[in-house]
Amino acid sequence: MTAFTYREGALHAEDVALARIAAEVGTPVYVYATSAMEAQYDALVGALAGLDALVCYAVKANSNLAVIRTFARRGAGADVVSEGELRRALAAGVPASKIIFSGIGKTEAEMEFALRAGIGQFNVESEPEMIALSRIATRLGLVATVALRINPDVDAGSHAKITTGRKENKFGIDLAHAADVFRRGAALPGLAVRGLAVHIGSQLLDVAPFRAAFDVVGTLARALRNGGHPIDRLDFGGGIGITYRDEPLPDLALYAAIAREAADGLGCRLVFEPGRFLVGNAGVLLTRVLYVKDGVSQRFVIVDAAMNDLIRPTLYDAYHGIDPVLAPAPGAPLDPVDVVGPVCETGDLFAAQHVLPPVAAGALLVIRSAGAYGAVMASEYNSRPLVPEVLVKGGHYAVVRPRPTYESMLGLDRMPDWLGP
């Protein structure tokens, strides 16, 4: 299902013409389709039907408040990795009890904020972190519900920079130490150590690594149960992949069956933390062609979006489909071009030798699959103001993050007194 379709030769987001958004909001701009987000959420929840499951949207994938609220309204919780994300989840209306705080480097201030907010679960990734959380919770007279994140030493088989479950990765507690850390945690004040968590990486297209990781967690949970520990939750993390080019998707029913089997007989609540799966293909980066330049060996299509707006292609060599907003005339020639941005780096390249119909200056293009890890990873590099965001629902759209003005961008800096006013 895609929410981005051509109607009478013009690409729409749901019922809104992208050309209209470009004219009214300007480019570059991220455009998200509500229906695509809801369809993905419903598909996952549907596959998990019959399980005691909670889907906690991984806010890092797209942390716009309107996006978080779209999922919260459907019953999702949130997986957060910083006080900023936690504040976003709360502001968007996610109940604190459905918020999970992940991450290997929570500061004491962040833990205190989360404890006071009454979040549902801390995913603890090391013994020193566990001891710090115990100390802070005890000082506040509160109890932190804890799941220990295990490093199962399973290779997710995705890009090295987004693989997290191998023993040489910084994430989770080594399996060899996990039972001991759990026992020590159970004896600490201010903690209710109740579960295990795992997250082996992102953009997984094969279910086999999920099976291996979930089984490790299920087996450890059984052993701890037999040792008298009250385990009532298993957090199976995120990582379900999406189609960027033509990759076959992991089968959701199989994914759910694997989770069910791994947790069989434990009676635990199962938590899932999908990010990319829920938003990745619900968003595009809409951009305008500035110039078409013929080099010696190739044609460059220079657009007004750049690597600071969407860093995935240069950071991970990621493929993102690129299409014209105006459907090409039937039989139009297709030629390979390099789609590049204005930033002064050779790496500011969205696609090399990408096949496109002829485009001229002023034409609009979409860079697809940009709903996840797009706007959230944007920067102001080259002093380009952060890219705005638009949310579409049916025939309506709203600017859910306006483009900052140059004044507001410059206004963040301060002049020291020795340099004058």
Residue numbers at the binding site for ligand LLP (CB under 6 A) = 58, 60-61, 79, 102, 162, 199, 202-203, 237-240, 273-277, 312, 316, 373
Write the CA distances from 278 to 102, 265, 281, integer angstroms. 18, 29, 8
Residue spans of alpha helices (H) in 145-268: 175-186, 208-226, 252-262
Q: What share of the chain is helix, strand, coil (3-state, %, to 5)?
A: 35, 25, 40
Question: Do the beta carbons of residue 273 and residue 56 sit within 8 Å?
Answer: yes
Question: Do the beta carbons of residue 54 and residue 98 sit within 8 Å?
Answer: yes
| Shortest distance in whole angstroms from residue 189 CB to ligand LLP | 26
| Shortest distance in whole angstroms from residue 358 CB to ligand LLP | 31
Question: Do the beta carbons of residue 294 and residue 256 sit within 8 Å?
Answer: no
Whole-number Å distance between alpha carbons of 139 and 89 = 25
* Residue number with CB closer to ligand LLP (28 or 275): 275
Angle between helices 208-226 and 252-262 (to 10 degrees): 20
Active site residue 56: no
Question: Bridge-partner residues for 12, per DSSP?
Answer: 5, 17
* Residue number with CB closer to ligand LLP (58 or 217): 58
| Shortest distance in whole angstroms from residue 354 CB to ligand LLP | 19
| Shortest distance in whole angstroms from residue 240 CB to ligand LLP | 6
* Residue number with CB closer to ligand LLP (14 or 273): 273
Six token digits for residue 24: 């009214």
Collapse the DSSP code of 138 into the 3-class scheme (helix H, G, I; strand E, B; otherwise coil) and give the result: helix
Side-chain-facing half-sphere of 301: CA atoms under 13 Å: 29
What is the Rg, in whole angstroms, of the alpha carbon atoms belonging to the chain? 23
| Shortest distance in whole angstroms from residue 39 CB to ligand LLP | 16
* Residue number with CB closer to ligand LLP (117 or 162): 162
* Residue number with CB closer to ligand LLP (77 or 237): 237
Identity of the amino acid at 407: E
Residue identified by tokens 């102001």 is 380
| Shortest distance in whole angstroms from residue 374 CB to ligand LLP | 8
Question: Bridge-partner residues for 356, per DSSP?
Answer: 335
Which is the catalytic residue, given 296, 344, 415, 419?
A: 344
* Residue number with CB closer to ligand LLP (251 or 264): 251
Residues taking part in catalysis: 344
